[in-house]
Amino acid sequence: MASVARSYTFTDGTDAYGSQVENELNTIFNAWNNHNAGTSTWTVLSASNASAVPLIANNSTGTNDIFNGRDNGTNIFRLVDGGWMHFRLQRQDNTTNNTDTNDRIQMGWGFITSDGSANDMTESISFASAYGAAPIVFLTTLGVRTGSDPADITELTGSESRSHIVHAEDVTANGFTVRMQAPDAADGNFTNTVRYGYAWLAIGAMA
């Protein structure tokens, strides 16, 4: 916010006229009201406190963004209604460089239970919030669990001597398919009743 200019300086022994005082007060009130309405901006804003939250931005009603971080007027990151953080990121589609301006990260974990009849297993994942287009998806294996379903990611602590791979396929704006395969035919099928864990992360532009 630009510095508030003074029109009059009052000193001891001089007269202060009502019109002068009113002008100075109007200058202060207008500057504050313009700031409060968002029609004027602070030039520099610093907040610091060792014992409490130094800065709170609260979208108390409506569906407006809570916070916009900008560079030369372009949104770099946004804290949108609902509390989600959106980013501006560079993305390469094959060899074409693009810029996403509304990216969100979603992530999760899960498991596939083998019935012992196959060396190729799949499971469908639906994103909690749909993207505007197919996102980038990263997928990796976790540990395994035998006998009962894991209630938490920390319960996937076991391992198997067999090798298996996991990858994402059929990626859309709404979800993707997890595919697990045992690449070595000599290993046979996945072990019956074993829960094979996986974890995923998706990054893409929201609708």
DSSP string, 78-111: EE-TTS-EEEEEEEEETTEEEEEEEEEEEEEEEE
Q: What pLDDT is recorded for position 14?
A: 83
What is the mean pLDDT of the segment spanning 47-73? 88
CA–CA gap between residue 128 and residue 174 (Å, rounded)? 8
Per-residue pLDDT for 98 more than 70?
yes
Domain 84-205 has CATH 3.30.300.30: no
What is the mean pLDDT of the segment spanning 68-88? 90
Looking at per-residue pLDDT, the higher value among 53 and 44 belongs to 53
What is the mean pLDDT of the segment spanning 53-66? 85
Give the Cα-Cα-Cα angle 124, 129, 130 (nearest 5 degrees).
75
146 within 8 A of 164, measured Cβ to Cβ: no
CA distances from 192 to 144, 151, 180 (A): 12, 19, 14
Domain ranges in the chain? 1-45, 84-205
Per-residue pLDDT for 153 more than 80?
yes
Question: Which residues face 196 on adjacent strands?
Answer: 112, 144
Kindly state the greatest CA–CA separation across the chain.
Answer: 102
Which band of pLDDT confidence, cut at 50, 70 and 90, is reported for residue 3?
low
Most confident by average pLDDT, 80-84, 100-104, 154-158, 197-201: 197-201
> What average pLDDT is seen over the chain?
89
Looking at per-residue pLDDT, the higher value among 177 and 13 belongs to 177
Looking at per-residue pLDDT, the higher value among 181 and 28 belongs to 181
Give the pLDDT confidence of 16-48 residue by residue, as tens digits.
888 888 888 888 877 777 767 677 777 777 899
Cα–chain-centroid distance for residue 192?
A: 38
Q: What pLDDT is recorded for position 90?
A: 94
Q: 172-188 b/e with 16+ CB inside 10 Å = b?
A: eeebbebbbbbeeeeee
CA distances from 38 to 42, 46, 51, 58, 164 (A): 10, 17, 28, 14, 56
Q: What pLDDT is recorded for position 2?
A: 59
Per-residue pLDDT for 1 more than 80?
no
Quick one: tokens of 176?
């993707």
**Do strands 74-79 and 85-93 pair parallel, antiparallel, or not at all (unpaired)?**
antiparallel
